[in-house]
Amino acid sequence: MTETGSEPPPMNIGRVEPRLIEREMSESYLTYALSVIHSRALPDVRDGLKPSQRRILVAMNDLRLRPNSKYRKCANIAGTTSGDYHPHGESVIYPTLVRMAQKFSLRYPLVDGQGNFGSIDGDPPAAMRYTEARMNGEATEMMADLDKETVDYQPNYDERLDEPSVLPGRFPQLLCNGSDGIAVGMATSLPPHNLREVCGAIRAVLADATIDANELCKIVTGPDFPTGGIIMGRRGIHQAYTTGRGRSIVRSRYHVEEARGRSGKEQLVFTEIPYQVRKIGIIDKIVEVVKDGRITGISDVRDESDRDGIRLIVELKKNEDPEVIVKQLFQFTPLQTTLSIINLSIVDGQPRTLSLRGMVDAYIRHRKDVLRRRTRFLLRKAEERKHIVEGLRIAVQNIDEVIRIIRASKDTDEAKGALMAAFALSLAQSQAIVDMRLGRLTGLERDKLEAEYEALLAEIADLEDILRRDERVVAMILEDLDDLEAKYGDDRRTEISAEEVDGSFDIEELITEEMMVVTFSRDGYVKRTGLDTYRAQGRGGRGVKGSESKEGDAIRSLFIAGTHDYVLCFSNLGKVYWLKVYQLPEGGRTSKGRAIRNLLELAAGEVIHSVLRVQSFDTERVVVFATKKGTVKKTALEAYSRPKKTGIRAIALEEEDEVVSVALAQPGDTVLIGSAQGRAVRFDEQAARTMGRVSRGVRGMRLKPDDEVVSMIVLPSDADQTGVTLVTACLNGYGKRTLAADYPIKGRGNQGVINIKVTERNGPVVALRSVVDGDDLMFISQSGMIVRTAVDEMRPMGRNTQGVRLVNLKSDDALVGIEAVSAEDLELEARNNSGEGEATEPGTDATTDPIVAQAAAEAVEDEVDTDTDSDGDED
């Protein structure tokens, strides 16, 4: 109601048609989708251009901006394009113009730009009022014969002008420069290729229409990116070329250099990066993965690129493996990318996915159509000229009569009519005669006229022959290809590697190969620590703290292994589990590690009793088991190479029996079993036959009721000749070193010979290990203390002796195990320690080593004494 109380006047809303909203939205969305597909996102297969690109080139052609002309402001080009052909605003047109001028975006740029057109770092171009441009030679090839009715024209947006619906496309734009775009419900990603290879493929198809995809893939070996790089493998390329869709891995090109002025350090130098990846994005990602700890071996990243090319420097920390770091970079940064190939384009008004052969065929069809239309245009022009020349010949032959008729006529129209009536001429011929100059009547001009007539007859015959014979059109295409290749052909920039990768990495490739000390505790805690953490000390020393065991726990086993080695974990239930050393948690010397139950799927009440280091599962070696009750079993190593997450059966055990030792053996070796009461049995490996994985085994040693097996050692066949010795360690820290040759090789199943005198001072035997001169020994106590001593400091003794003090234990501590460090491992440690201070020599004060001294200082509250002690040698 209005203020006066009267009704408001009715609104003139026009015609209203009820419609279902579902139908209206469906039809409107379909119209929008088709508009995006045809008019914005997808290229035409014939000239390989999107509408915006085509209109920019047409506007530049109108402005006569050819390679030999002066540059013109990009604002002028964008304005002309927007005003005449593409009414979407200059800010939309200019980025398209810029991309067509960027040498890192297009393999063969269509625009020759002058000024700042952006950079591979992602820097934006200057404003269009500052930059200038003109067409490149490749763009003029796209325009060739545009004025000869070779393509259809259509009205522009305001029907003021006509624009070509497609360009003649002499240059194979779609194949050479590719295209990318996202339409509604579909996307295209056509990679660029090398012009020489593309021309070769077109020639091959023209020569043999039945050529298969495999032969074509031998000619076009793969995409060729403007930024170079390396494509890993041909499988994805072949799939894309045969089906129209595929995926390939593209890696950066790099080499390794020694860092300038930094001895011992190396740096990775990347000189080519994947296509459409910005260098600044790579740098930011490297910084990110270094900060979050995914890559730890990088000390610096810097960009030394200049106008001559890319030079991205990744400086490594000292002693880092460049191959490992580069694989980590490929895994976590855009230095390696996955290229998705989708050969989608507009074919006959519809989006279609094409194979390589399909794109080549589309180019050939278009060029044949263009050349035939050009030929028909030239033929029409030649026939029109021939018609005129025929009229001029008639006039010259009857010149006196022609002059008389013209002089007698009142005006030009009357003269043309009289000439048409007198000589049966057409209007065009009579017009040409009236326009003819008197100079054409000379003898020389008459000869020229006859020569032109004969040339026109020959030209017409040649053009008609082209239209009749397809091989003539093919020859013209081949001639164009030769010309294009001579003008614009160049060498490949992207390398195709034979190495096939799927974009994922084996985790081992990202792990540096290094030696580790692997520690297992009795309560099932595991860790790995760098071997160089432990340095040599004198015999009898107290050592440094090796593990911060939880209360009531003790170190059970310690061994040396490489990060890529396998660890076979044998449980008290007779099962075996499979791990890699790098899968174990890394911890410091004093850390207790992580419960192995978190790494393995153990059953209730199941614990890991023994572990075995394996570098490879070969067919010659066998696994030898020894149980607490004296049983031994031998099984082929290969039987344990395919375990499950939940473990597999390793040995069948009697009730209340458990595995105490597992070792590898090969033909010719001998097996030595030692008991807690100081007895030892040595027998040939062949004395125990090879059994299946789940068998029980045979008797290895006959034990007294109060005795049990504590260790098993596999000795090589030449142990007696090479001076291999056995170190026996007892609970109270005493023990000795004895030559292996002192232990006779007898049959299995007996009580054996005396190994060491088990006395109240010594306590029962804890473990036996085989060593040679040059090795080191690590002694592990119940409280987690570790003492490392050179074997050379221990002189060999007889079997029937008490031995000497091996390690100085506290009154409430006990020795629980020993482990040998081989001479080879010591050499590796020395290399790891190079440049970080020399290892302490055997027999010297361990506190002179800075690392050990620091550990000692940290362990004051634990009452750890690092002074050596040479107490109590006693035979």
> Can you tell me the distance from the alpha carbon of 94 to that of 127, in angstroms, rounded to the nearest whole number?
9
| 597, part of any domain | yes
pLDDT-derived band of residue 278, with 50, 70 and 90 as boundaries? very high
Question: Residue 470 above 90 pLDDT?
Answer: yes
252 DSSP 8-state letter: -
Q: Three-class SS string for 514-554?
A: CEEEEEEECCCEEEEEEHHHCCCECCCCCCEECCCCCCCCC
CB atoms inside a 10 Å sphere around CB 431: 17
pLDDT over 80 (residue 351): yes
612-645 pLDDT, tens digit per residue, is 788 888 878 899 999 889 999 999 988 888 777 7
Residues 659 and 787 in one domain: yes
Same domain, 667 and 774: yes
Shared domain check, 522 and 480: no
From 171, 193, 223, the end of a domain falls on 171
Q: Are strands 734-739 and 804-805 parallel, antiparallel or unpaired?
A: antiparallel
Closest C-alpha to 580, from 533, 532, 526, 619: 526
Contact indicator for 536, 544 with CB cutoff of 8 Å: no
Q: Which pLDDT value is given to residue 35? A: 64
At 273, the pLDDT band (50, 70, 90 cuts) reads very high
Q: Supply 222's token pair.
A: 């793969």
Instruction: Verify that 625 and 756 share a domain, yes or no.
Output: yes
Confidence of residue 72 (pLDDT cuts 50, 70, 90): very high
CA–CA dist 779, 789 (Å, integer): 8
Tokens 């192995």 sit at which residue? 596
Q: Which of 312, 334, 356 is the last residue of a domain?
A: 334
**Does residue 733 surpass a pLDDT of 70?**
yes
Report the CATH number that the domain containing residue 122 is assigned in CATH: 3.90.199.10
- Of 532, 514, 530, nearest to 835 by C-alpha is 532
**pLDDT recorded at residue 824:** 62
CB 702 within 8 A of CB 750: yes
Which residue shows structure tokens 């020859």?
475
Distance between CA atoms of 207 and 211, rounded to whole angstroms?
A: 9
The sign of the dihedral angle between the CA atoms of 302, 304, 305, 306 is positive
Order of all β-strands in the sheet with 298-303 = 253-258, 266-272, 312-316, 298-303
Average pLDDT over residues 258-280: 87
- Token look-up 């304005």 returns 79
Q: How far is CA 44 from the centre of its chain?
A: 32
Q: Is the pLDDT of residue 314 over 90?
A: yes
Question: How far is residue 546 from each of residues 779, 785, 844, measured CA to CA in Å?
Answer: 10, 5, 19
User: 3-state DSSP call for residue 355?
Assistant: coil
**Which residue, 817, 351, 304, is CA-closest to 558?**
817
How many other C-beta atoms can be found within 10 angstroms of the C-beta atom of residue 549?
Answer: 23
Domain harbouring 273, CATH code: 3.30.1360.40
Strand 111-114 relative to strand 153-155, pairing: unpaired
**Pair of tokens at residue 771:** 């060593």
Closest alpha carbon to 804 in 710, 870, 754 = 870
480 plus 557 within the same structural domain: no
With bands split at pLDDT 50, 70 and 90, how would you rate the model's confidence at 11? low
Predicted confidence (pLDDT) at residue 429 exceeds the cutoff of 80: yes
The model's pLDDT over 483-534, given as tens digits with 9 standing for 90+, comes to 999 999 999 999 999 888 876 655 566 666 777 788 777 667 888 887 766 6
Contact 752, 711 (CB under 8 A): no
Assign 624 to helix, strand or coil: strand
844 falls in which pLDDT band (50, 70, 90)? very low
List, in sequence order, every residue forming a beta bridge with 735; answer none if it has no partner: 729, 804
User: Residue 32: how many CB atoms within 10 A of its CB?
Assistant: 11
What CATH number has the domain bearing residue 586? Answer: 2.120.10.90
Q: Is residue 763 packed enough to be buried (19+ CB in 10 Å), middle (13-18) or exposed (0-12)? A: middle
CATH of the domain at 470: 1.10.268.10
Spatial CB neighbours of 663, under 8 Å, sequence gap ≥ 6: 612, 623, 624, 671, 712, 713, 714
- The answer to whether residues 329 and 416 belong to one domain is no
If you average pLDDT over residues 759-767, what whole number do you get?
Answer: 92
| 655 within domain boundaries | yes
What distance in Å separates the CA atoms of residue 547 and residue 817, rounded to the nearest whole number?
14
Q: How far is CA 572 from CA 138, 161, 335, 499, in A?
A: 76, 90, 48, 45
Distance in angstroms (rounded) separating the CA atoms of residues 842 and 585 = 30
Tell me the C-alpha to C-alpha distance, in Å, between residue 27 and each of 31, 32, 403, 432, 474.
Answer: 6, 9, 71, 58, 45
Sign of torsion over alpha carbons 48, 51, 52, 55: positive
Distance (Å, rounded) from C-alpha 832 to C-alpha 343? 52
Residue 580, beta-bridge partner list: 566
pLDDT at 861 exceeding the cut of 60: no
Banded model confidence at residue 5, pLDDT cuts 50, 70, 90: low
Residues 674 and 790 grouped into a single domain: yes
32 tagged catalytic: no
CA distance 709 to 673: 7
> Do 540 and 464 share a structural domain?
no
Under the banding of pLDDT at 50, 70 and 90, the label for residue 857 is very low
The predicted pLDDT at position 122 comes to 84
pLDDT on residue 850: 33
- Does residue 668 form part of some domain? yes
Classified as helix, coil or strand, 615 is coil
Q: Are 324 and 245 in contact (CB under 8 A)?
A: no
CA angle, 861 as apex, 856 and 862 as ends, to 5°?
75
Section 727-744 average pLDDT: 93
Q: Which of 334, 368, 398 is the last residue of a domain?
A: 334
More confident residue, 821 or 552: 821
pLDDT band at 263 (very low <50, low <70, confident <90, very high): low
pLDDT at 39 over 70: no
Which three-class secondary structure state does DSSP give residue 821? strand
Q: Computed over its alpha carbons, how large is the radius of gyration of the chain?
A: 45
Q: Which one has a higher pLDDT value, 21 or 169? A: 169
Give the Cβ contact number of residue 875 at 10 Å.
9
pLDDT for residue 510: 60
pLDDT at 247: 92
Name the token pair of 490.
Answer: 């160049």
Confidence band, pLDDT 50/70/90 cuts, at residue 121: confident
What is the rounded CA–CA span in Å between residue 629 and residue 637? 23
Higher local confidence (pLDDT), 784 or 667: 667
How is residue 146 annotated by DSSP?
G
Phi–psi pair at 409, nearest 5 degrees: -85, 150
- Residue 867: its pLDDT value, please? 34
In a domain, 22, yes or no: no
State residue 36's pLDDT score.
61
Which of helix, strand or coil describes residue 466? Answer: helix
What's the maximum distance between 2 C-alpha atoms anywhere in the chain?
154
- pLDDT-based confidence at residue 557 (cuts at 50, 70, 90): low
What are residue 819's DSSP bridge partners?
Answer: 778
- What number of other Cβ atoms are within 10 A of residue 84's Cβ? 18
Res 578: pLDDT: 84
Residues 643 and 734 in one domain: yes
Exactly one of 130, 453, 582, 640 is catalytic; which is it? 130
Tell me the two tokens of residue 618: 């070969």
pLDDT above 70 covers a percentage of the chain that reads 86
Query: For residues 113 and 73, is the Cβ–Cβ distance under 8 A?
Result: no
Q: Do 309 and 390 reside in the same domain of the chain?
A: no
Same domain, 299 and 439: no
Give the list of residues 6+ apart from residue 389 with CB closer than 8 angstroms, or none: 449, 452, 453, 456
Helix, strand, coil percentages, rounded to 5, for the chain: 35, 25, 40
Is 549 a member of any domain?
A: yes
Query: Is residue 239 situated within a structural domain?
Result: no
The predicted pLDDT at position 306 comes to 87
What single string gives the DSSP state of each residue in 30-56? HHHHHHHIIIIIS-BTTT---HHHHHH
Q: What angle do CA 460, 149, 34 make, to 5 degrees?
A: 145
**Minimal CA–CA distance to 165: which of 348, 404, 362?**
348
The confidence band for 482, taking pLDDT boundaries of 50, 70 and 90, is: very high
CA-CA distance, 592 to 521, in Å (whole number)? 8
Q: Distance between CA atoms of 767 and 293, rounded to whole angstroms?
A: 40
How far is Cα 688 from Cα 627, in angstroms, rounded to an integer? 14
Please tell me the predicted confidence (pLDDT) of residue 504. 60
Other CB atoms within a 10 A radius of the CB of residue 661 amount to 25
Q: Kindly tell me if the per-residue pLDDT of 552 is higher than 80.
A: no
Q: How many domains does the chain have?
A: 4
Give the percent of the chain with pLDDT over 90: 49
For residue 689, what is the DSSP state? -
Residues 141-200 pLDDT 10s? 999 999 999 999 999 999 999 999 999 999 999 999 999 988 777 889 999 999 999 999
Helix (H) or strand (E) holding 111: strand 111-114
Structure confidence at residue 859 (pLDDT): 32
Query: What pLDDT sits at residue 129?
Result: 94
Q: Which has the minimum average pLDDT: 52-61, 462-471, 541-550? A: 541-550
436: tokens are: 């003819």
For the ranges 362-366, 491-495, 580-584, which has the lowest average pLDDT? 580-584
Q: What confidence score (pLDDT) does residue 312 get?
A: 94
pLDDT of res. 12: 62
Assigned domain for 651 exists:
yes
Which residue range(s) make up the domain with 67? Answer: 39-171
pLDDT at 438 (0 to 100): 77
Tell which wins on pLDDT, 850 or 609: 609
Residues 134 and 266 in one domain: no
The reply to whether 714 falls in a domain is yes
The answer to which of 86-95, 539-548, 597-606 has the lowest mean pLDDT is 539-548
Q: What is the mean pLDDT of the chain?
A: 84
Residue 410, pLDDT above cutoff 80: yes
